[in-house]
């Protein structure tokens, strides 16, 4: 399994939204796909280049994906392990957002930012956040995810941030109402946490909470 390459940049190419290069190592040329962000910053042909590599082996051939940092390659591996996220979508996410931005967007369930990547829809963005949030905080917390909020902060602590607002029955009522209006669970939880933080003195009034939650949701969708 190829995990790292060092050689001379011999050529670069684009095919649709795919970007890649030819890296010559001791007389052997390796074709490697890379992110658009990486492709835009390549040195001149003939310069030395080092890549951390993820290799996939399938019946129709072998494919190499290269990254300038080991953390980026490791993050790519986490992305493609999520159901519905293939290598091209993983490259698209890392090409659209720098590693730290991407980890932060996943951990904070910033669906709008995640959906800026090519091919990423709302459902996929939600799946990424749900499946990877805790894992990315633990794995990359000391790397380029430094400074991310603690997991308890994102969950509202012991359900306090979003439900310090009121009794559990009010939270359930709000969730049911907002779901009926077409909002997703992650959006609803983020809205309730935001309102709890912005309006700590808000009365335990279902209508007031619904009004403020809808106001917050409309602002983030703008």
pLDDT tens digits for range 184-205: 777 888 888 888 877 666 666 6
In the predicted structure, residue 124 carries a pLDDT above the cut 60: yes
Q: Which residues contact 208 (CB under 8 A, 6 or more apart)?
A: 202
User: What is the Cα–Cα distance from 92 to 139, expressed in whole angstroms?
Assistant: 21
pLDDT tens digits for range 65-101: 999 999 999 999 999 999 889 999 999 999 999 888 8
The segment(s) of the chain belonging to CATH 2.40.50.140 are: 4-67
> Higher confidence at residue 174 or residue 68?
68
Strand 28-34 with 61-67, pairing: parallel
* 216 neighbors 195 (Cβ within 8 angstroms): yes
Q: What integer is the mean pLDDT of 161-177?
A: 65
The segment(s) of the chain belonging to CATH 1.10.150.20 are: 71-150
4-67, what's its fold?
A: OB fold (Dihydrolipoamide Acetyltransferase, E2P) (2.40.50)
Q: Is 35 exposed, middle or buried (0-12, 13-18, 19+ CB in 10 A)?
A: buried
The structure tokens listed for 171 are: 């939270």
Best CATH choice for the domain 71-150 from the list 1.20.1740.10, 1.10.150.20, 3.90.79.10, 2.40.50.140: 1.10.150.20
């Amino acid at each position: 399994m190829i995990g790292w390459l060092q050689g001379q940049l011999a050529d670069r190419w684009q095919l649709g939204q795919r970007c890649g290069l030819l890296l010559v190592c001791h007389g052997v040329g390796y074709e490697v796909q890379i992110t658009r962000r990486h492709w835009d910053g390549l040195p001149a042909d003939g310069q030395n280049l080092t890549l951390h590599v993820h290799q996939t082996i399938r019946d129709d051939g072998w494919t190499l994906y290269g990254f300038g940092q080991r953390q980026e390659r490791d993050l790519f591996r986490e992305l493609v392990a999520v159901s519905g996220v293939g290598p091209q979508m993983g490259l698209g996410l890392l090409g659209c957002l720098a590693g730290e931005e991407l980890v932060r967007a996943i951990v904070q369930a910033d669906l709008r930012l995640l959906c800026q990547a090519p091919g990423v829809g709302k459902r996929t963005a939600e799946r990424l956040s749900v499946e990877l949030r805790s894992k990315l905080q633990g794995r990359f917390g000391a790397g380029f995810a430094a400074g991310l909020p603690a997991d308890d902060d994102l969950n509202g602590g012991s359900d306090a941030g979003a439900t310090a607002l009121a009794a559990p029955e009010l939270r359930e009522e709000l969730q049911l109402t907002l779901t009926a209006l077409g909002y997703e669970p992650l959006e609803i939880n983020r809205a309730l946490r935001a309102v709890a933080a912005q309006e700590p003195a808000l009365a335990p009034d279902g209508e007031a909470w619904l009004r403020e939650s809808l106001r917050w949701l409309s602002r983030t969708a703008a």
